[in-house]
Amino acid sequence: MMSHFRCLLFFVLCVFLTAPLPALARIDTAVLTPARQIQAWIYNSADLTLIKDTRVLHFAKGANPVRFSWAGTLIDPTSLSLEIADPALPLKITQVQFPAEGTNQTVWHVTAETPCRAEVVIRYFTSGISWQPHYTAILSPDQTRMQWTGQVWIQNRSGMDYPDVRVALVTGTIHLLDRIADLAGRTFPHGRPDTPADDPGSRDMMARGKALMESAPAMALQSMAPSPSPEPMEMTRAADYVVYTLDREKTLTHGWSGQVSFVQAGAVPVETRYVYDTERFGHAVIRMVTFTNDTDSGLGPLPLPGGPVRVFQAVDTRGDMIFAGTDTMDYIPAGNRHSLRLGPAPRITVTPRIMAYAKSNLNFDKQNNLSGFDEIRTMAIHAANFSSHPAQIDIVRTMADPHFTLSDLSGHDAFEKIDQHRFKFTVTVPAGTGKTIEHTLSTHQGDRQ
């Protein structure tokens, strides 16, 4: 394991003899300077981090070897690349070697026409660095608003220390031909020593990462709450990815883990509804909390990456709370609405009953056999609210076939035909009371369809 970054090792190779003075002289062919910048793009859909390490080097005239080693780390050697930042400089990478006598290392041979100082960029993929967003929501006692806090948990288990890193968090699905951890474990990354990579999949993945780094300028985001202040971020879009860049540098030491607060809002408007849908939830009534991810709600223009959400219910103005439930939300674009499913609400009940049953409109064929009829059911759906606040209840009914009609509807606030098999009643029930929805359901059988 590397306790500090030992990846660049530079050697004195040039030795010359002069006839008049037979003295041996050594010349440094590459000198490392303290100037350094590290950027890390950490994906959360795969065990993948793209590292860009920028260094300033002094090159002597002639051949300059630059050696990179990765023993004890989870770096993918097939993704390694070195570039000269300024192509106008008199420098050229003439050869890349993977020495047979030393595994886990690469040597780039850089030829300089004249001595010069140059910025070089080393890029590679590593596994072992991860980030995971998680959220906490606190509902107000009347369930009309919520406090919302979003944090990101970052871990480094890569075997490498990264000081003062500009961190970018990438969300989006990426296609990997190989697991980076598997590539990092190869003795010889390209099958045998002294053979550079020529894998189209690796080249394609590297090109996608490079395109991500060179994406459009970021849109500045504002802090979501005055206290505690979330971490300032910038957001960019690159193809199918959304990138959140932390405004402050972080030191990612191997074994380190920590969290960063990135969004907080104190009074997000929410709509609390109760859903009774036996097709989806059985006979339980499920509490759903819906909000909009936009500036008007206090969340700002930031898309929210997917992650687990813990929801608490405030029970009084003193700050006492009870645990309301958990859910895992998907990525929510700015401006979109999302519903958190918090599980059964035992104080809300829905009981459907058949009050009467009959058959009518009997049809017979030429052989006097019954060929069709209507089943008539008089239905009563009783919704009871034993909680201390009004409850808006959606009652969804699913029919086995689409050949039915409804009539004599009463007791509901709204009715909606969802599709050919489903319909929905909506009713608001005051605290401590109940309401009954009545309707007649006619199911058409046989040639009555």
The whole-number pLDDT of residue 217 equals 31
Domains and their CATH numbers in the chain: 348-446 (2.60.40)
Of 204, 155, 168, the C-alpha closest to 47 is 155
**160 burial via Cβ count (<10 Å: 0-12, 13-18, 19+):** buried
**Residue labelled with tokens 């009954």:** 436
Q: Which residues of the chain have pLDDT under 50?
A: 1-29, 177, 190-198, 202, 212-228
For residue 6 the two structure tokens come to 């030992």
The whole-number pLDDT of residue 226 equals 33
CA–CA distance, 376 with 392 (Å, rounded to integer) = 29
291: DSSP letter: E
CA–CA distance, 425 with 396 (Å, rounded to integer) = 7
Measure CA of the first residue to CA of the last residue in the chain; give whole Å.
74
CA–CA distance, 69 with 103 (Å, rounded to integer) = 8
CA–CA distance, 129 with 73 (Å, rounded to integer) = 11
CA–CA distance, 252 with 162 (Å, rounded to integer) = 5
The whole-number pLDDT of residue 211 equals 54
